[in-house]
């Protein structure tokens, strides 16, 4: 269902009415329009606190973009900004700035104490009002867990609070703010994440924190089709988010095995035919399902590279009124089946080297939801599974999760209008997301260049007011 309110408030009359009544005026989000679209254009300003570790890498990434790159000058504790490289033009940020910025990128990896946080203020205070509509704020910091001294850990943790608050302030512009935390020595693993968070692909990802670990150097890929040669399994692929995932991975070059239950085969076949993939009818809760999936992947492709656990169900009832089969079915589909499928693929060594596993959690698994004790339990279990498996997987295989918020699907279209409107507006961007927003985040996880991204749970929710 289309967001009629979003359309109305972006007309001259509707905008005036919303302002008069004090109603939210969400800005339409810019999403990817073509695969060869530059990840960032326009003026981009980078800054760095003293002792910055990632600024040269960030400068190199942005220097290869279509953006006009500037580095902050004029403030002593931002002098390391100049390390962004020769392509970055010095810009006096204490002066009256007249341009609009597509992105503000700040390297806070050198911050070692609360006093050093003044560099954050000095960079953003004169520039945040100059952030363009649909602009991006990206902060790069260190993982507090890697900090040896408490003041440094406190200051690095403080960057999370800054980003989450900044995201709420700039959301009215359709702009987002996110934090990337890198492990010591993980500078070479930043590329895919910097590109994702600065691009239209991350339009509905806001107020999130991502950990980047040290890993083997990422292989060179075709930027237009980075998943060329990869085989992807997408469960629940017949419609909605699953269909968007299948189409997006195929767009990026992957061959897709679309899986869904037998009653959905007609719709599934339409999806897989359109993307030149293969359809597989299977109930993932069946005891024989893992073997059936593994046999299919082995027979047709000799293995698999990407496993996307999208299939899911809800069976809502308050706990006291919930029949036991509602509980058992929800746990089986949303959690247990994922574990069994992964176990079978890895036991038979069908998940190839540098493979990717992506699980779908939910903000209900983070914050809980009335009438969904079964669903919240299962989706929280997904998070626990991802975090545990990230420490166990070998051969360059990574596992991550997506936790969608309010996404415009057939399910949300069937909600009562008051609940649906609340879901749309209760986030920093004041609108619902689209299935493609979830799919783009999954494509980022799946990129061969994302080998340092492991064990993360990223919410695709426009920075919902519910949860973290």
- Which pTM does this prediction carry? 0.95
pLDDT digits (tens, 9 = 90+) for 151-170: 999 999 999 999 999 999 99
* 81 C-beta neighbours (distance < 10 Å), count: 30
Residue 217 confidence (pLDDT): 76
Q: For position 420, what pLDDT does the model report?
A: 85
Q: Is 34 helix (H, G, I), strand (E, B) or coil?
A: coil
d(CA 197, CA 191): 10
CA-nearest of 460, 459, 453, 456 to 190 is 453
Domains of the chain: 41-212 (3.40.50.720), 231-460 (3.40.50.720)
How are beta strands 351-360 and 304-309 bridged, if at all? parallel
419 to 65, 111, 311: CA distances (angstroms):
41, 43, 24
Comparing CA positions, the residue from 69, 79, 70, 90 lying closest to residue 49 is 79
CB 404 within 8 A of CB 241: yes
For residues 312 and 360, the answer to whether their CB atoms sit within 8 Å is: yes
Residue 366 and residue 325 in contact, taking contact as beta carbons nearer than 8 Å? no
Q: Helix, strand or coil for residue 2? A: coil
42 backbone φψ class: left, alpha, beta (φ>0; ψ -120 to 50):
left
Give the long-range contacts of residues 363-371, CB within 8 A, separation 24 or more: 363/403, 363/404, 363/405, 363/459, 363/461, 363/464, 363/466, 363/467, 365/403, 366/403, 366/457, 366/459, 366/466, 366/467, 366/468, 367/466, 367/467, 370/318, 371/316, 371/317, 371/318
Which pLDDT score, from 0 to 100, does residue 1 have?
61
372: buried, middle or exposed (CB in 10 Å: 19+, 13-18, 0-12)?
buried
- Contact between 221 and 192 (Cβ < 8 Å): no
Q: What are the helix and strand counts (H, E) for the chain?
A: 16, 14
Query: What are the phi and psi torsion angles at 147 (to 5°)?
Result: -85, 130
Q: Which helix H or strand E contains 305, and what residues bound it?
A: strand 304-309
Catalytic residues: 375
Residue 111 token pair: 């911050």
CA distance 446 to 358: 8
Supply the pLDDT for residue 345: 98
Q: Phi and psi at residue 45, in whole multiples of 5°?
A: -110, 130
C-alpha to C-alpha distance for 248 and 440, rounded to whole angstroms? 7
Task: Tally the residues of the chain.
Answer: 468
Token couple for 394: 């070998």
Which stretches of the chain score pLDDT less than 50?
Answer: none
Q: What is the pLDDT of residue 449?
A: 95
Compute the distance between CA of residue 435 and CA of residue 133 in angstroms, rounded to an integer. Answer: 22
């Amino acid at each position: 269902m289309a967001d009629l309110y979003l359309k109305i408030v972006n007309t001259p009359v509707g905008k005036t009415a919303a302002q008069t009544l004090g109603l939210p005026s969400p800005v339409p989000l810019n999403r990817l329009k073509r695969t060869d679209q530059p990840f960032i254009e326009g003026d981009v300003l980078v800054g760095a606190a003293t002792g910055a570790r990632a600024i040269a890498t960030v400068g190199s990434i942005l220097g290869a973009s279509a953006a006009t790159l500037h580095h902050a000058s004029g403030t002593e504790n931002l002098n390391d900004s100049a390390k962004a490289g020769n392509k970055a033009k010095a810009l006096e940020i204490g002066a009256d700035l007249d341009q609009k910025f597509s992105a503000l990128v700040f390297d806070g990896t050198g911050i070692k104490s609360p006093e050093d946080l003044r560099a954050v203020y000095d960079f953003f205070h004169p520039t945040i009002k100059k952030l363009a509509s649909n602009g991006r704020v990206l902060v790069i910091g260190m993982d507090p867990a890697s900090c040896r001294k408490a003041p440094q850990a406190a200051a690095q943790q403080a960057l999370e609070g800054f980003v989450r608050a900044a995201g709420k302030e700039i959301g009215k512009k359709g702009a987002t703010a996110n934090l990337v935390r890198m492990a010591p020595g993980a500078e070479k693993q930043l590329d895919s994440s910097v590109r994702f968070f600065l691009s239209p692909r991350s339009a509905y990802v806001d107020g999130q924190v991502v950990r980047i670990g040290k890993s083997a150097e990422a292989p060179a890929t075709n930027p237009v089709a980075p998943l060329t040669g990869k085989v992807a399994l997408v469960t629940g692929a017949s419609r909605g988010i699953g269909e968007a995932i299948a189409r997006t991975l195929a767009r990026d070059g992957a061959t897709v095995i679309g899986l869904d239950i037998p009653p959905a085969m007609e719709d599934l076949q339409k999806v897989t035919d359109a993307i030149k993939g293969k359809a597989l009818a299977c109930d993932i809760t069946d005891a024989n399902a893992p073997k059936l999936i593994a046999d299919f992947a082995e027979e047709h492709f000799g293995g698999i590279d990407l496993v996307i656990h999208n299939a899911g169900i809800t069976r809502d009832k308050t706990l006291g009124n919930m029949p036991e089969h509602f509980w058992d079915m929800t746990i089986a589909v949303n959690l247990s089946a994922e574990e069994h499928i992964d176990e079978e693929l890895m036991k038979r060594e069908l998940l190839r080297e540098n493979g990717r596993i992506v699980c779908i959690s939910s903000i209900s698994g983070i914050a809980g939801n009335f009438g969904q004790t079964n669903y919240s339990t299962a989706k929280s279990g997904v998070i626990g599974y991802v975090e545990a498996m990230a420490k166990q997987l070998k051969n360059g295989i990574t596992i991550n999760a997506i936790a969608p918020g309010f996404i415009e699907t057939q399910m949300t279209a069937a909600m009562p209008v008051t609940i649906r409107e609340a879901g749309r507006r209760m986030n920093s961007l004041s609108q619902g997301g689209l299935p493609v927003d979830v799919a783009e985040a999954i494509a980022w996880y799946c990129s061969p260049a994302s080998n340092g991204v492991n064990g993360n749970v990223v919410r695709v929710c426009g920075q919902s007011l519910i949860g973290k």
